[in-house]
A and B are shown apart, each in its own frame.
Chain A
Amino acid sequence: MARAGYLMLWGANPAWTAVHQMEYIYQARERGARLVVIDPVFTATAARADFYVQIKPGSDGALALGLARQLWQKGLVDNYYLENHVQGWPEWREYLAGLDPRELAAITGVQPELMARLAEEYAAGNPAAIWIGIGLQRHINGGQNIRAINTLAAMTGNMGREGGGVYYASPVAGDLFTTSWPGWMRPAGSERQIPVYDLARGLEEAGSPPVKMALLANANPLGQNATTQELHRALANLDLVVLSGQFLTVTARAADIFLPATTFLESWDVVPSYWHRWIGINEPAVPPRGECRSDIQMVSDLARVLNQMSPGSCPFPSGWTEEEWLEQVFNPEVYRLLGIDHYRDLLDGPRELKLPANPWAGGRFATPSGRYEIYSNRAAAAGLPSLPVYQPAAAGTEAYPYRLLTTHTSAGLNSQFYNLGYAPEPLALVNPRLARERGLGDGSPARLYNEWGEIIIPVVISELVPPQTILCHQQPLPGGQVINDLTPPLATDMGTITSGGPGIAYYDTFVNIVPV
């Protein structure tokens, strides 16, 4: 990223959520790169940008289309790249030609002249990089929006350029460890999926056989899932809820049995990342405290007991130590890419996987056609449009007109670290116009509510939040209130393709607000 000549951060706020990456952004700027931030909220990162463009939440795809149309119209595309490495350019060009710039401006709130300027700047950047923030996927049209942004890099040839391309979470490092798992990790036909975005109803409606017990690990669903009040009732209706964890979260308090799990200080682990290519090893600093055990030990012992009760009922290995598990997950391919013979070599320090910085530098893509597929048959087969055409995000209703955004603070990661008490006072940030409409006073408490729940929280009036939008950073709320009480059970559009199941469209939550 330090080699980028032009850097567009689209919905990413690394100044708060990826501090380690800011140094590379500063390096790029010192070499003359222009830093552009596109975000509904004027973030700490936006404050450091050369150019900030505010956009209506969820309309990112429409802005990308506006830029793509400009690139095509002004001849700012890389024709050689399009001809040799891209599938679907003629269809895409035709679609772009039919778009009305004024309509796109109305959807996004970004004027056509500003779109033209952004497109020209982006096309002139050599190389130009785009970093797409994770928040973009939290809409019912998030996947389509990201596909539309990706086309900008394909159209300009930036996709394959060193220092250019598109940055997003990459599953590559983690997948290296799981692709070699033997069959018993995924027993055929025995798996039933309940979608995460509607877990409450999924648990209640599951028949043949019904769900009677839940074993929860590494999760805080009563804090972080959708419709948390319904989920509370669904869990209470089960015969038994067991949770393994490190802290007494809201879910741990609702569980029948709490099993204390070890922290990284007490157990072995591998540390890959979805952001960089380094692999580390975690060596325990102390033996497990008290009755703490690692999740893998708990599951191993459970498998052992199940097999005592009914021999052969559980294929999961039960006798391995944590280090024997490490022997299993480090496969020859991982060792080759790391240039080591044994995982213990990583005790000297983490090592970088020998993978290209830009995986598409050769112009060959991991698609059926080997090209970058703007027109995708796989998308069509999955029930999505073949082209990344604009699909609207959810809209408010008369009863619940305001969109609720719940982004991260610099002091936490979802509900992790709530126990530390570092987070600033929880506040609902609202645009001045919204405050006038609803008679909200700066600093006074307000009730946020919709058909799923309600919370009471002090209001701050801020011009940095877009109109008709309420921003509550994810942080502990007073009185044990849970912000996701308000989150409806809406599915994201492309989760099934990218991570095995639809995610929760958190940012398509709509509420109303009144002074208390």
Chain B
Amino acid sequence: MRLGFFLDLNRCLGCRACEGACQNWKGPGFPRRLVRAFAGQVRGRWQEYYLSLACNHCENPECFRVCPARTYNKRRDGIVLHNSGRCSGCNRCVRACPFGAPRYNLTTGKVEKCDLCVERIDNGLAPACVEACPVKALQVLQLDEGKELGERWVPGLADVNITQPTLRLKAPEEGEKFLLVG
């Protein structure tokens, strides 16, 4: 069993409740999840949506590979954990992660990142961000072999080919649009 975040880009409103909930649950510092707006041409059409991103708990976590202090480990359920006791604050993971998930905390001198609220998961609860989402755009899914739960990449997301995130996305769908002629 592997766990991964699922984000429905049709549902997400960019309200940032997930960011706030993350910060409330994890305490002072910065939220381990950030909502970014994407706007641009996608296959010849203008698209706008929000990407609410935390750690993508990759299959091949680059943070894990580059850390000289062996600060990272990956659990059997796929959650990538950062052990702050071992972290020397060298920032190699910060530079290596394509998604900007690990961030350096100036006040502690160490790196912090999303742990999928592992203490909540282990108690059968959803992560704080998922629980806070007012429109159920953000969820945690179990990724089973051979079952595709959504897109692995959408425009606005960094390259997924190297680290293979467990993040899955539902791409935005477009309705009919009648604009005034002027």
Contact = CB atoms under 8 A, between A and B. Distances in A.
A463 B179 contact: yes
Interface string B133-171: 011100000000000000000000000000000000000
Query: Which of B17, B177, B180 has the largest number of chain A CB atoms within 10 A?
Result: B180
Nearest to A20: B134
B134 A23 contact: yes
A19 B15 contact: yes
Which bracket fits the contact residues of A? Answer: 20 to 34
A19 B180 contact: no
Nearest to B17: A19
B180 A109 contact: yes
Interface string B1-32: 00000000011011101000000000000000
Nearest to B48: A47
A410 B50 CA distance: 13
Contacts of A234: none
B44 interface: no
A22 interface: yes
Interface residues of B, number: 18
Nearest to B133: A23
A47 B175 CA distance: 8
Given A22-B13, A26-B11, A47-B48, A54 B134 contact: no
Interface of B: 10-11, 13-15, 17, 48, 134-136, 175-182
B16 to A, nearest CB: 9
A42 interface: yes
Interface string A93-110: 000000000000000011
Nearest to A15: B13
A52 B182 contact: no
A466 B13 contact: no
B178 A44 contact: no
A410 B37 CA distance: 13
Nearest to B177: A52
Contacts of B14: 44, 410
Contact of B179 (A35, A42, A49, A468): A42
A153 to B, nearest CB: 23
A466 B178 CA distance: 11
A50 B180 contact: no
A52 B174 CA distance: 10
A52 B180 contact: no
A238 B146 CA distance: 76
Contacts of B134: 19-20, 22-23
A44 B10 CA distance: 11
Contacts of A52: 175-178
A461 B121 CA distance: 46
Contacts of B182: 109, 431, 433, 466-468
Given A23-B136, A44-B13, A48-B175, 17 more contacts: A20-B134, A22-B13, A22-B135, A23-B134, A42-B179, A52-B175, A52-B177, A52-B178, A53-B178, A55-B180, A56-B180, A114-B178, A410-B15, A431-B182, A466-B182, A467-B180, A467-B182
A320 interface: no
Given A22-B134, A26-B11, A410-B14, A54 B176 contact: no
B135 A19 contact: yes
B17 to A, nearest CB: 8
A54 B182 CA distance: 12
Contacts of A109: 180-182
Contacts of B11: 22, 26
A466 B180 contact: yes
Interface in A172-210: none
B18 to A, nearest CB: 12
A51 interface: yes
